[in-house]
Chain A
C-alpha cells in the first residue's frame, strides 16, 4: 500500500524542498514552496491517521531490510496524531509568517529561514515516527541545530546570547541521551525499540543499576530539551528573543517532540514492569509539580510580554510531565491531549502577542488600552488565555479536569491542590493584560478605535488556530477516547 510510505514521503518532501530553496532567488516563491510542502504534509498525515484508524498500527521498513538490521518507522495512533498536529500547526505559523517575517529578520535571510523551518519540521516528524533509537538521536541533533538557527537568525545581541545558552544546554542534553543509548546498547545489543524491549524484559534483573543510570540519563537529557522545571533556564530567553513565528514554532511544536520521544522511551523500551520498580516517575511528578507552580510564579514578575508567555510554557510543560509522572493510562492520555491543546493555544497566543508587540511595544505597560486599538487581536489573545486558565469547553479546562481525575485514580488527592493553585496563578498573569487592554478610563484615553488593527487576511491564521483549539475542546471526548485506546497498547 502506498499509504504506508506516506510518513517517509512527508519527511523526504520537507528535506528535499528545504535544500532546493537556496536555488530559487525569489523570496515569494520560497515562501510558497514552504507553505505548499507543509500543506501537502498535513494532508498526507491526515490520510495516515485514517489508515491507522482503519487497519491498525504498522511498521515501515527502510530499504526492505528487516527489523534488527534496518531502520524502521513505527506508526500508530499517537504518532499519526502528532504528525497531524505538527504539520497543521506549522502550516498556520508559516502562513502567518508570510506577512510578518520581513519585519523581524533581514530580507536576505528570509530564504535561510524557510530552509531551517522545513528542516526543523522534517526532523521533528522523524523523531515522532522512528522506531530506532540512534536514528532518533540524529534527528534530535538536526532539530537542535535548526531550532537554534531560527532563533539566531534575527541577529540581535540578545538573540546570540539566548542561542548560546540554548545550544550549550541542548548539546549537554544530547550528550546525555547518547550516553544513555550507549548503556542500553551495551546490555541489549539492539537499537530497535521493540527488540530492546524484548531483551530488557528477559534480563533486566541482572542489570538494575545500568537501567537506573540510563533512565536517569534519558530523563535529564530529554528534560533539558523538553523544558522540565529546573532544566528550563534556556527556554524564556530563547522563546522571547526569537522572531514571532519562530517562538510560536518553538514553544508549540519543538519541545513537544522530545516529550513524545521520552514517552516512547519510557513505555516502549522499558515498559511498565521495569518502570514501576524504579522511582523515576515519582521524581518526574515532583519536578513537574514544582514546575507548574514556579513557572507561573516567575511569569507574574516578568515585564516583557513574550517572556510571560514563555514562562507560561514552562508551567504548561509541567502539566505534560505531570501526566507522565502519574503513571496511569488516563494520565498519559491526558498529557498527550494537553500537548495537542497547548500546541494550538500557545502558537495562537504567540502570534497574537507578536502582532500586538509589532504595533505597540514589548512591555506589558505599553499594552494598556490596546483593546480599543486592536480589538480582534486582543479578543483572540483573551480566548487563548481563557483556555490557559481553564474555562470550560476550552481544552485547557478539559486537560486540567482530567488531570484531576487521573490523580484521584492514582490515589494521590493532594495533587489536586497543585492543579488548582497552578490554574489560579495562570489567571493572575493573563487577566491583567486583558483587563488593562479593554477597560479603564485612563487606559482608553486618546486611543482611536481599530487604529492599529491588522488586516483580516493577516489574522486568518490566528483565527484558524484558535478555531482548532476550540474544536479540540469540543471534540475532546472523541480525541481522549482514541488516545486512551492508544495508551492502552503501551501499558
Chain B
C-alpha cells in the first residue's frame, strides 16, 4: 500500500493504460476506439516521464547558467516520448482516415453493426 502511495504517478499511469486498453479493445464505436488508443498512449508517456523525473531537479533545458549534471532530471525518457508522440499522432491520423473510408463504404462507424451486416 505504501508503495502504491509513493508511486502514485505510476499507479495513475497504469490505471489510465487499463482504461485506454479496454476502450480500444471493447468499444464498438470507431471514434471511441481512437480516443482509447490516445488515452493508452498518453498513459505510457506519463509512465515514462514519471520514471525519468527526479524530485527537486529542473527540466533538462539550460536557462542562464549551467547547473552541472546533477541539477537536471534524466532527459532520455522525455526525448523518447517526443518520438512516441509523433508515432501516436501518425497512428491516430491513419485510423481517422480509415474511419472516413469506413463511413463511406458502410454508412456507419459502429463495428458491431458492420459485423452483423451481410456481405454483399
Contact = CB atoms under 8 A, between A and B. Distances in A.
Contacts of B40: 175
Contacts of A145: 90-91, 94
A175 B47 contact: no
Contact of B105 (A160, A167, A175, A179): A160
Nearest to A148: B94
Contacts of A138: 83, 87
Interface string B4-37: 0000000000000100110011000010010001
Query: Looking at A138, A164, A171, which has the most chain B CB atoms within 10 Å of its CB?
Result: A171
Interface in A133-173: 134, 137-138, 141, 144-145, 148, 152, 155, 157-158, 160-161, 163-164, 167-168, 171-172
A304 to B, nearest CB: 11
Interface in B104-120: 105-106, 111, 114, 119
A441 interface: no
Query: Looking at A138, A148, A168, which has the most chain B CB atoms within 10 Å of its CB?
Result: A168
A175 B21 contact: yes
B84 A171 contact: no
A182 interface: yes
A175 B37 contact: yes
B98 interface: yes
Contacts of B94: 145, 148, 167
Interface string A33-67: 00000000000000000000000000000000000
A168 B33 CA distance: 8
A178 interface: yes
A186 B76 CA distance: 12
A182 B9 CA distance: 14
A195 interface: no
A6 interface: no
A179 B87 contact: no
Nearest to A175: B40
Contact of B51 (A137, A160, A172, A185): A185
Nearest to B114: A161
Contacts of A158: 119
Q: How large is the interface on B (under 10, 10 to 19, 20 to 34, 35 or more residues)?
A: 20 to 34
B81 to A, nearest CB: 10
B105 A182 contact: no
Contacts of A134: 80, 83
A164 B87 contact: no
A161 B95 CA distance: 12
Given A145-B90, A148-B94, A179 B17 contact: yes
B24 A168 contact: yes
B98 to A, nearest CB: 6
B72 interface: no
A179 B98 contact: no
B70 to A, nearest CB: 16
Contacts of A182: 44, 47-48, 51
Contacts of B37: 171, 175
Query: Looking at B83, B91, B95, B114, which has the most chain A CB atoms within 10 Å of its CB?
Result: B91
B98 A164 contact: yes
A197 B12 CA distance: 29
Contacts of A161: 102, 106, 114
A479 B71 CA distance: 54
A155 B37 CA distance: 24
A179 B44 contact: yes
B24 to A, nearest CB: 6
A167 B98 contact: yes
Contacts of B20: 175
A155 B83 CA distance: 30
Nearest to A166: B98
Query: Looking at A134, A178, A191, which has the most chain B CB atoms within 10 Å of its CB?
Result: A178
A152 B98 contact: yes
Query: Looking at A155, A158, A182, A191, which has the most chain B CB atoms within 10 Å of its CB?
Result: A182
B51 A171 contact: no
A164 B21 contact: no
B87 A172 contact: no
23 contacts: A137-B87, A141-B87, A141-B90, A141-B91, A144-B91, A145-B90, A148-B94, A155-B101, A157-B106, A158-B119, A160-B101, A160-B105, A161-B102, A164-B30, A164-B95, A164-B98, A167-B91, A167-B94, A171-B37, A171-B95, A179-B17, A179-B47, A185-B48
Interface of B: 17, 20-21, 24-25, 30, 33, 37, 40-41, 44, 47-48, 51, 76-77, 80, 83-84, 87, 90-91, 94-95, 98, 101-102, 105-106, 111, 114, 119
Given A164-B98, A179-B17, 12 more contacts: A138-B87, A141-B87, A145-B90, A161-B102, A164-B95, A164-B111, A167-B95, A168-B95, A171-B24, A179-B44, A182-B47, A186-B51
Query: Which 6 pairs from chain A and chain B are nearest by CB?
Result: A186-B51, A141-B87, A157-B105, A175-B40, A160-B101, A182-B47
